[in-house]
Amino acid sequence: MQKRELGKSGLEVSAIGLGCMGLSYGYGPPVSEADGIALIRAAFDKGVTFFDTAEAYGPYANEELLGRALADVRDSVVIATKFGFVGGKPMEGLDSRPETIRAVTEASLKRLGTDHIDLLYQHRVDPAVPVEDVAGTVRDLIAEGKVRHFGMSEAGVDSLRRAHTVQPVAALQSEYSMWWREPEAEILPLCEELGIGFVPFSPLGKGFLTGAITADTTFGEGDFRNVVPRFEEENRKANEALVARLKTIALDRGATPAQIAIAWLLAQKPWIVPIPGTTKLHRLNENLEAAQIELSAADLTVIGEALVAFPAQGARYPASIAGRVGR
């Protein structure tokens, strides 16, 4: 597995990380502890050194799972986690008060079984707390040795720039994929300007870009996609056109649609590190093999034409939480 540096932070990670959320939260019932540990260890054995979690995933269960899975290889991996929701529950609202950041950090350290967090993200910008206070609190935690690097998630340009003046932001984690390209307008140029790495979550469009989801697919109870407008039946029907074109492109390259989607992200900037998540070992292997695919200029042109011809239909978040992003 190749390595990449997140911006100019000095933080080196595997070119593809593992988003661990789905093992415990967001996509239906959690996997068993044994299966979760097996998948995380399989990722490590294949060269993954970058693992993403959060107190909100469960809440708490995902950090505990990751901590147990990586206990004996802790010094060989980079663990990223997040703070920012009331009680670790996204639907309860935002909370990035300095005292909360400190309390969550201490709790996360215990759950992860470690003495430091490599990358601590603010999960969402909290309009009730000046971002300078958030960055300053993490700066102090870094000085104390409890945190190594500061990150933000789904932050807007103004918040990112303001935070960076107080404590350099090592990485911004936000959604970015073939069917959500909004970061290209302002966020990626700012990351390049400031030397901030970019970590795309949902690089496979919450599974849609794999080609395994159709208009007839049903999602289980507790699956977040049940409330996402982009996954409404009519929108899925419309969005199948892009996946059909992606399948053709992938076939020409002897790859899968998922691999092309991840390789496309890797080709955008050398400081972009996607974190696809999965609960299945065969999907993990498929995703990681994308690091071996180098798309040519001609490939990127063909893909770009497809993205223009078949724009994604439907909002990426329900209205109830859409206002939390891009602040």
Where in the chain does DSSP place strands (E)?
Answer: 3-5, 12-14, 18-19, 50-52, 78-83, 117-122, 147-153, 169-175, 197-201
Cβ atoms of 104 and 138 within 8 Å: the answer is no
What is the number of other CB atoms lying within 10 angstroms of the CB of residue 154?
A: 22
Residue 180 DSSP label: B
On whether the CB atoms of residues 18 and 12 are closer than 8 A, the answer is: no
Kind of pairing, strands 117-122 and 147-153? parallel
Two structure tokens written together for 227 = 């409330």
Instruction: With beta carbons less than 8 A apart as the criterion, state whether 13 and 50 touch.
Output: yes
Residues with a known catalytic role? 57
